[in-house]
Amino acid sequence: MPRRSPFTALCVNLNAALHPVVADLHAHTTASDGDFTPSGLVALAKQSRVAALAVTDHDTLAGYAEAHATGEALGVRVVPGVECTAVWADRELHVLGLFVDPADAEFVAHLAAVGRQRRARFLALVEALAGQGVAFTPGMVEGLADRVPSLGRRHVAGLLVRTGVAATWGEAFGVYLKAVLPGVPPTHFTPLAEVTRRIHAAGGVAVLAHPPFSFESAQFAEVQAEGVDGLEAGHPTQLPGRAAELRGIARTLGMVVSAGSDFHATSPNRRVGSHGLTREAWAALEAGRPGRS
């Protein structure tokens, strides 16, 4: 069934009504490439009746403290998390570190080092665009670089759209960034085994985010051997059949199951709480996650 067909949408909405999400374990704030502040994100979770929310900004925990304080005030449990960029078998993978200790000095220092690399790449992309004749408003780039702890391609695309260089986000990514990305290679990819080791050392659970559709049981077993504890078996990019398949693979391999909206900005398919865990699945993750005392 096509992803965007009316029948598919009806099935998704019916399933959501019968099995409401209580835990959204993948969401972003202005600490990385989200549009909402940590407090604003938690307020959205409250409005959506989400009981538990994981703040999982890219390679930073900078938004957690504000989100946690707001969660305490609003009655939303905020799970400390992070989305780490990793490399395995010459491909980019994203790993969610859930339940990490935000005060773990070694982990925070590692993320800060990755953040500096991300900043350097952001500035290199801006410089490459300047070489193509793209000029931004004076101070705009510097202000953004000083304000955001974890920078990425989405920030460059946002600059292109806000200044009118690109008419749409699609043009920003598909035309302008596509032209310069080959000359600015990624610098912040950490080997998968190191990412999972650092997450575990910080007391967290390592979950493979939005697992590649091409992955089958063999690949999942291989990344499990690299320290991956679980699979994100619910994500806006997945059809229900794939989500069920991932849950089955997780059961077979003895891995935990997570799910989340991957929220960045207001979008019909990526609302806070649009994807996540039901009460039963959230309780199972809480009870069965590795390292739980």
What is the per-residue pLDDT for 20? 84
CA angle 13, 41, 84 (to 5 degrees): 95
- Tokens, residue 173: 């990514």
Q: Let me know: does 82 contact 97? Beta carbons within 8 Å.
A: yes
What is the per-residue pLDDT for 271? 93
Dihedral over Cα of 130, 135, 136, 138: its sign: positive
Cα separation values, 252 from 43, 53, 84, 218, Å: 37, 27, 25, 12
Helices marked H in 135-278: 140-147, 153-162, 169-171, 178-180, 192-201, 217-225, 240-253
Assign 220 a pLDDT band (cuts: 50, 70, 90).
Answer: very high
Instruction: Report, as an integer, the average pLDDT of 133-139.
Output: 88
**Which segment of 66-75, 135-144, 197-206 scores lowest on mean pLDDT?**
135-144
Q: Let me know: does 63 contact 27? Beta carbons within 8 Å.
A: no
Q: What residues contact 53, with CB distance under 8 A and at least 6 apart?
A: 23, 24, 25, 27, 41, 42, 45, 67, 71, 76, 77, 78, 79, 272
| Three-class secondary structure of residue 12 per DSSP | helix
Cα separation values, 107 from 112, 146, 197, 198, Å: 9, 22, 10, 6
The chain-wide mean pLDDT, for the chain, equals: 91
Q: What digits encode the pLDDT tens for the residues 177-197?
A: 999 999 998 776 899 999 999
Instruction: Report, as an integer, the average pLDDT of 258-272.
Output: 91
Q: Where are the domains of the chain?
A: 6-112+187-288, 122-183
CA angle 173, 179, 184 (to 5 degrees): 95
Q: What digits encode the pLDDT tens for the residues 52-86?
A: 999 999 999 999 999 999 999 999 999 999 999 99
Assign 212 a pLDDT band (cuts: 50, 70, 90).
Answer: very high
What is the per-residue pLDDT for 266? 86
Is 6-112+187-288 assigned to CATH 3.30.70.1560?
A: no
Burial label, 176 (beta-carbon count in 10 A; 0-12, 13-18, 19+): buried
Radius of gyration of the chain (CA): 19
What is the per-residue pLDDT for 292? 57
pLDDT at 39 over 80: yes
Stronger pLDDT, 136 or 56, i.e. the higher one: 56
Q: At what angle do helices 140-147 and 105-131 cross, to 10 degrees?
A: 170
- Distance of alpha carbon 48 from its chain centroid, rounded? 19
